[in-house]
Amino acid sequence: MSAKKININLKIWRQVNKEAPGSMVDYRLEGVSTDSSFLEMIDQLNEQLIAKNDEPVAFDHDCREGICGMCSMMINGNAHGPEKATTTCQLHMRKFKDEDTIVVEPWRAKAFPVLKDLMVDRTAFDKIQSAGGFVSINTGNAQDANAILIGQETAELAMDAAQCIGCGACVASCKNASAMLFVGAKISQFALLPQGKVEAKDRAIKMVSKMDELGFGNCTNEAECEASCPKEISISNIARMNREYLKSAVTGRNH
Amino acid sequence: MSRFYHYLNSSIMKKQIMGVTGLLLCGFLVSHLIGNCLIYFGDRAFNTYAHTLVTNPLIYVAEAILLGIFLTHIFMAMKLTLENKAARPVAYAVKKPTGRGSTIASSTMPYTGLLILVFLIFHILHFKFGPVYKITYDGVEMRDLYRLLIEYFHQPLAVVWYVFCMLALGLHVSHGFWSAFQSIGFNHPKYNACLKNLSKVYALLITIGFSALPIYCYLQGGR
């Protein structure tokens, strides 16, 4: 498919800082290559803004390879845009038509305050992770590679959960701004493996308590998170978290 | 105690309480439907069944438990919905479903739930605390609920309202039934498809089963 140039109309959320009230601002961008990524399109807009001495649109980005979890944009009402299993940086302008109007907003959640324009503060995820998303038992020296045998299926399930890049699309797409897919994935990746099982009970209680404390909503099992997740994390991880939590609340000894 | 409260007040336990009370209510719906189907066997069978139920002293215990389950389900629903609204103080200018997750049933749970609550209040006022007619079978005097039903459902609007509410109930349980299992933590690739289908079959059974009752009464011509 050869590259085309399209003209688009953008409606972008502009907000000076955390305290200032923001608003949607209209922009016209001409000659956008259909081969450019969504972020490259925003770069092009920013060049245009800078040339006019305007403030460029602030947005989070890092690897632009779909793995760092930094890019976070609500595009036309969908987290990371309309395409399945795709981060914003991997979304291409060929998915849009000439003269399309594209609405771009930051993630919206009480726990993710907007810092500037399209950038939100996702420290809440780090706080949940540091509440228990690690293995702290002393495992000694590195063991022989095959000393602890793990079934292939279990290893795959743990790996599927560990694919989470912490981008926050689950929270953004959930009508309740719930972080349960993220926390479910983080709890699952450890709970499935022998090294993580030791602290599984404590971990479930601590991470869920932190999640609740930070003001995320409650899951209503709509699965919009799974549908929006660029890594296609399954809501079966939420069910696993629910089980782990129930088990810990009933039988945990340390809390 | 405070630890116990902490667990009960956690997002996960609240969902699980919603799920368990919801499933118990699903069980009640089935028993209520089966009992009501006695109406097809005429006034005597139906009235005798109702009489046997209300004259058993255990009915008060059963009613108290049922009321407790209902109130817990409703209280939790309100608490969770308010918390969920608070979790996103600034709404999106544009928000679209992906088409791969939420359904009409799942996204309307608070509304269908509220409608069912309104229905329930009028339902109890109309029948339990409605006009009392008496009838005597073999020397035993009892309430003629059958006559009340036939009279009440002689009004077409009453039938339409009832069927409308049963559609909402069907929608509500079609998501709720499956959702309860997910909240408790029951999710397995081997049973997921079966459970989701069971949820739909259950919803159809409840909607059609309950809707048929007022239609049948209406067709009796208000005798």
For residue B24, being part of any structural domain is answered with: yes
Read off the amino acid at residue A198.
V
Is the CB of A18 inside 8 Å of chain B's CB atoms? no
Complex ipTM: 0.94
Name B52's Cβ contacts closer than 8 Å, sequence gap at least 6: none
d(CA A25, CA A13): 6
pLDDT tens string B50-106: 999 999 999 999 999 999 999 999 999 999 999 999 999 999 999 999 999 999 999
Question: Tens-of-pLDDT digits for all 255 residues of chain A?
Answer: 577 999 999 999 999 999 999 999 999 999 999 999 999 999 999 999 999 999 999 999 999 999 999 999 999 999 999 999 999 999 999 999 999 999 999 999 999 999 999 999 999 999 999 999 999 988 778 888 888 899 999 999 999 999 999 999 999 999 999 999 999 999 999 999 998 999 999 999 999 999 999 999 999 999 999 999 999 999 999 999 999 999 999 987 665
Rounded CA-CA distance A211/A179 in Å is 7
Q: Does B107 contact chain A (CB < 8 Å)?
A: yes
At A47, which amino acid appears? E
**Interchain contact, A76 vs B84, CB within 8 Å:** no
Report the alpha-carbon distance of residue B176 to residue B203 in Å, rounded: 10
Residue B185 to residue A108, Cβ atoms within 8 A: no
Q: Looking at the complex, does the CB of residue A203 fall below 8 Å from at least one CB of chain B?
A: no
Both tokens assigned to A112? 């993710």
- Asked if A243 has any chain B CB less than 8 Å from its own CB, the reply is yes
DSSP of A222-254 = --HHHHH-TT---THHHHHHHHHHHHHHHH-S-
The domain A5-105 having CATH identifier 2.40.400.10: the answer here is no
- Which of B87, B96, B97 is the closest to A217 by Cβ? B87
Q: Is B119 helix (H, G, I), strand (E, B) or coil?
A: helix
Q: Can you give the residue range of the structural domain that contains B176?
A: 6-86+107-219
Give chain B positions within 8 Å (CB) of A239.
Answer: 182, 185-187
Residue B171: inside a domain: yes
State the pLDDT at residue A138: 80
Domain count, chain B: 1
The pLDDT of residue A255 is 56
Q: Look at residues A29, A46, A36, A44 and name the one whose alpha carbon lies nearest to residue A91.
A: A36
CB-CB: which of B11, B80, B88 is closest to A109? Answer: B88
Which residues of chain A does B80 touch, with a Cβ-Cβ cutoff of 8 Å?
A: 218, 220
Scanning chain A, the segments in alpha helix (DSSP H) are: 38-51, 123-130, 152-162, 169-173, 180-191, 194-197, 200-213, 224-228, 236-251
Any CB–CB contact under 8 A between A183 and chain B?
no
| Residue B15 domain flag | yes
Q: Identify which of B6, B89, B187 has the shortest CB distance to residue A110.
A: B89
Q: pLDDT, tens digit, for every residue of A101-137?
A: 999 999 999 999 999 999 999 999 999 999 999 999 8
Superfamily for domain range A122-138+146-251? Alpha-helical ferredoxin (1.10.1060.10)
Domain CATH code at residue B208: 1.20.1300.10
- Report residue B81 CA to chain centroid gap: 19
Q: Hey, are the CB atoms on B87 and A110 less than 8 Å from each other?
A: yes
**Chain A neighbors of B14, CB-CB under 8 A:** 218
Q: How far is CA A141 from CA A129, A191, B65, in A?
A: 25, 22, 57
Q: In 3-state terms, what secondary structure has residue B32?
A: helix
| pLDDT reported for residue A88 | 97
Of A200, A215, A212, A183, nearest in space to A252 by CA: A200
Q: Which residue(s) pair with B49 in the sheet?
A: none
Distance from the B191 Cα atom to the nearest Cα atom in chain A, whole angstroms: 12
Cβ contact B43:B133 at 8 Å: no
Report the C-alpha gap between A64 and A81 in whole angstroms: 15
Q: Do B179 and A220 touch (CB under 8 A)?
A: yes
Query: Residue B1 falls within a domain, yes or no?
Result: no
- Beta pairing partners, A10: A27, A102
The residue ranges of every structural domain in chain A are 5-105, 122-138+146-251
